[in-house]
Amino acid sequence: MIISRCPFCGLSVAKIQAVPMDNNVDTSYSLYCTHCHSYGPTASSEEFAITAWNTRTISDQEMDALRHRDLERAEDSYNKFSSWVG
């Protein structure tokens, strides 16, 4: 199955993660982006997890949080650069 790009950062770096359930018998699966560390919905199989990842949309609240995070990262980078230069 093809894994779509991350719906948050747009890169193709999603990996499948198997997570043991509380009963230590069952396993749930989700995809996560190794670049921006976003997680997709959990599912009962790898196939369902990929399908959920591929069809996921971003809510307005999630988009605002990402914009805020990106702004903070840009400000941190600027401050580090400014201290080196000046």
Q: What is the pLDDT of residue 71?
A: 83
Give the per-residue pLDDT at 79: 83
Residue 45: CA atoms inside 13 Å, Cβ hemisphere, count? Answer: 4
Q: What is the pTM of this model?
A: 0.61
Per-residue pLDDT for 31 more than 90?
yes
Place of tokens 């950062």: 9
Once rounded to an integer, what is the mean pLDDT over residues 10-37?
86
Closest CA to 28 of 48, 11, 13: 48
CA 2 to chain centre: 17
Length of the chain: 86
* Amino acid residing at 8: F
What's the pLDDT score for residue 21?
Answer: 76
Higher pLDDT, 83 or 6: 6
